Amino acid sequence: MSGFSFNDIYNAYTVHIVVLIGINIIMATSLNLIIGYTGQFNLGHAGFMALGAYSSAAFSVFAGPYLLSILGWSPLSFAEHVGFMAVGAHSSAAWLPASVAEQFVFIIAILLGGLAAALSGLALGLPTLRLRGDYLAIATLGFGEIIQVVIDNTKSVGGATGFTGIPRYSSFFSVYLCAALTLWVVGRMTRSSKGLSFKAIREDEIAALSLGIWNTRVKVTAFVTGAFFAGVGGALFAHFNNYLNSGTFNFLKSIEYVVMVVLGGMGNLWGVGAAAIFLTILSAALRRFSVWRTVIYSLLIIVIMIARSKGIAWKFWKKKEKGVSLSS
């Protein structure tokens, strides 16, 4: 401890957790659209995230330097920049966005990551969305595994050893800007009359069809939009970590986001956002218990689910029951 000042630790660790919270808000909210609002059980959300992370990282690593040199950022200072980042003494800088040229590359990388994930969402969605419940869960689980295997066997992005040397473009601002954007888009969509079709599909597909709501179209919209934002989350994650490993995006990662959605309350925008914050902090706080961490974490989730089966935030954001209750 004595070698570090309080500020060093405070900044590095706090920035890490705070940024991770932002990314998890994006991931949980995008999954909320698919599972919570539309009721399509997706166990491959980490797969979308991985696609976004790797495609955006590949862009900024391979195409980024050219683009920066065109924009007048000298290659030397770029190399310096990457080296500088790798040392890890950058923590205080991560609160603030990097240079304008870098942010320009970063924005393209994020969009590319989002689009890659959205495309995969479309490719996955069209053939599998006729599956229901458990079957869809298995299919999406398979999708997540396939993504991991493909990454492990793609040498240009490091294969199984991992993808190194990704510039750190993510900052507190970019992450929370994207988180706010995700919440805004999902919130606006689902609250509009047209977006009620998501919940309608979740509640009763046959009734929705009889009212002129085309189930396939609605589900694909949910999948593509959700996948897009998962890809954005992945891009932000890649450019925060400098390093990617396919193992990060495993099945357990998908489950982690499912837990956030369930704990926050299916189709509850702010509840799921709050659950993302709560669970990220909880997970970080339990780190000191090492081996007991997962046990305590799981037990807490079980207790919370029993106590509040509709999600932690359900009661806070719901209006009080008013008038006479008409039936039990």
Q: Is residue 161 within the footprint of other proteins (CB under 8 A)?
A: no
Residue 97: CB atoms within 10 Å: 17
Q: Is residue 13 within the footprint of other proteins (CB under 8 A)?
A: no
Listed ranges 9-17, 138-146, 244-252, 319-327: which one lies at the site for other proteins (CB under 8 A): 319-327
Query: Minimum CB separation from other proteins for residue 97, in Å?
Result: 24
Q: Is residue 212 within the footprint of other proteins (CB under 8 A)?
A: yes
With CB under 8 A as the contact rule, the residue among 45, 81, 199, 239 that binds other proteins is: 199
With CB under 8 A as the contact rule, the residue among 208, 230, 274, 313 that binds other proteins is: 208
Q: Is residue 2 within the footprint of other proteins (CB under 8 A)?
A: no
Q: Is residue 320 within the footprint of other proteins (CB under 8 A)?
A: no
Which tokens go with 197? 């079709």
Query: Minimum CB separation from other proteins for residue 328, in Å?
Result: 9
- Identify which of residues 127 and 212 has a Cβ nearer to other proteins in the complex: 212
Q: Is residue 309 within the footprint of other proteins (CB under 8 A)?
A: no
Kindly give the interhelix angle for 215-241 and 100-128, rounded to the nearest 10 degrees. 140
End-to-end alpha carbon distance in the chain: 59
Residue 273: name the closest of 282, 261, 281, 291 by CA.
261
Q: Count Cβ neighbours within 10 Å for each residue of 268-283 and write b for 16 or more, e otherwise.
A: bbebbbbbbbbbbeeb
- Identify which of residues 8 and 130 has a Cβ nearer to other proteins in the complex: 130
Listed ranges 102-110, 213-221, 251-259, 273-281: which one lies at the site for other proteins (CB under 8 A): 213-221
Q: Is residue 184 within the footprint of other proteins (CB under 8 A)?
A: yes
Helices (H) and strands (E) in the chain, counts: 14, 0
- Measure the CA–CA gap between 152 and 48, rounded to whole angstroms: 15
With CB under 8 A as the contact rule, the residue among 11, 154, 215, 245 that binds other proteins is: 215
Q: Is residue 12 within the footprint of other proteins (CB under 8 A)?
A: no
Residue 159: CB atoms within 10 Å: 13
Counting beta carbons within 10 angstroms of the beta carbon of residue 286, is it exposed (0 to 12), middle (13 to 18) or buried (19 or more)?
A: middle
- Which residue ranges make up the site for other proteins (CB under 8 A)? 184-185, 188-189, 192-197, 199-200, 203-204, 206-215, 221, 319, 323, 325-327
